[in-house]
Amino acid sequence: METNQSHTTKLTINGSVYNLALLPWVSLLDVLREEIHLTGTKKGCDHGQCGACTVIADGKRILSCLTLGVMKDGSEITTIEGVADGENLHPIQKAFIECDAFQCGYCTPGQICSAIGMLKEGKANTREEVQELMSGNLCRCGANKGIIDAIMEVKKGVYHE
């Protein structure tokens, strides 16, 4: 396989289908930001250590900076731009607002996508479990308490779609 040739890759991103010619070393994060122009997904550390680039791929949360775009050929990707249903915010988004779960907002897109994915996993039942399972998403401003509060509010059913 020639590595300097682009590969046709089909991605469904936020419900829209894209047929892209991608070089094999281009990260999904760069595809989203540079090719599709969805800049809500943030480039933080570019090493998979901060979680700012978290998106949902085929229902699971992933770090888009560590995922090659060609690896997700045929996948359904949801970014922060695809979380809300038009003007109707996702319950996690509503809870983040009400629980003051963000300060500067840089990590918020990744935090929200990670929280949605984590809730779908069904593994987090206590505050401590939520804290552990969200530990890959760093908030340098210290809004962690509000983030965990928001997730727990959604788990309790306070916010609905």
140-153 per-position pLDDT tens digit: 999 999 999 999 99
What is the rounded CA–CA span in Å between residue 85 and residue 135?
27
CA 138 → CA 15, 50, 94, 142, distances in Å?
28, 5, 20, 9
- What does the pLDDT look like over 4-53, one tens digit per residue? 799 999 999 999 999 999 999 999 999 999 999 999 999 999 999 999 99
Lay out the sheet containing 60-63: strands in order across. Answer: 16-22, 7-13, 76-78, 54-57, 60-63
pLDDT category of residue 161 using cuts at 50, 70 and 90 = low
Shared domain for 58 and 95, answered yes or no, is: no
**CATH number of the CATH domain containing 60:** 3.10.20.30
Last residue of a domain, one of 31, 54, 79: 79
> Does residue 72 fall inside a structural domain?
yes
> Does residue 11 fall inside a structural domain?
yes
Shared domain for 17 and 71, answered yes or no, is: yes
Structural domain for 47, as ranges: 7-79
> Does residue 84 fall inside a structural domain?
no
> Does residue 140 fall inside a structural domain?
yes
- What does the pLDDT look like over 53-108, one tens digit per residue? 999 999 999 999 999 999 999 999 999 999 999 999 999 999 999 999 999 999 99
Last residue of a domain, one of 79, 100, 128: 79
Averaged confidence pLDDT in the chain: 95
Q: Would the pTM count as exceeding 0.85?
A: yes
Cβ neighbours around 81 below 10 Å, total? 15
pLDDT of residue 69: 98
> Does residue 133 fall inside a structural domain?
yes
